[in-house]
Amino acid sequence: MNVLVVDNEIVQLENLRIGLTERGYHVLQAQSGPEALNLIETEVLEIDLVITDYEMPEMNGIELLQNIRWKQGNLPVILMTAYGQRDIALEAFRNHCNGYIDKPFSLDQLLHVIHTVKSNITHNMTLETPKKANRSSQPFLCDKGRGKK
């Protein structure tokens, strides 16, 4: 799985790169939203997941998420933030964010969120009818019980 990690803090980028690489992920890095969008559009490898910080200069994580939704449709995005404010999480999910994690977090906690996002995507793909499969639909972590009765 190709993961793009976006954070303006170099230490955070390196720690995530090392941890995720040791767990078998191929990690690309960007230090800003514009740099991330450029990588998404020009990278030869298909990016499977974006993990982005909320607080960054030039473009915050919600703005990056909005740009990804507008340009890339359903590319899964996990937002990480040190602020832990409920309004940030709500805004993220309103913009079809797939996952959310508060800093500081352990690698195991992040891996759990990644696994949950991947499981939700797989689960939602199996629930879609062929007619709906052609649409750009978004799975949500907060959408518990979707498709269940």
- For residue 127, what pLDDT band results from cuts at 50, 70 and 90? low
The structural domains of the chain, ordered by start, are 2-133 (3.40.50.2300)
pLDDT in tens, 1-40: 999 999 999 999 999 999 999 999 999 999 999 999 999 9
List the one residue out of 51, 74, 62 whose CA is nearest residue 122: 74
User: Residue 103: CA atoms inside 13 Å, Cβ hemisphere, count?
Assistant: 15
Evaluate whether 78 touches 95 at the Cβ level (below 8 Å). no
Mean pLDDT of the chain: 86
Residue 127's contacts (CB-CB under 8 Å, 6 or more residues apart) are 146, 147
Which is nearest to 121 in space by CA: 97, 147, 140, 99?
140
pLDDT exceeds cutoff 50 at 148:
no
pLDDT digits (tens, 9 = 90+) for 60-92: 999 999 999 999 889 999 999 987 788 999 999
Would the pLDDT of 131 be above 70? Answer: no
pLDDT of 33 reads 98
Query: What are the structure tokens assigned to 11, written together?
Result: 């230490």
| Category of 145 on φ-ψ map: left (φ > 0), alpha (ψ -120 to 50) or beta | left
> Rounded to two decimals, what is the model's pTM?
0.82
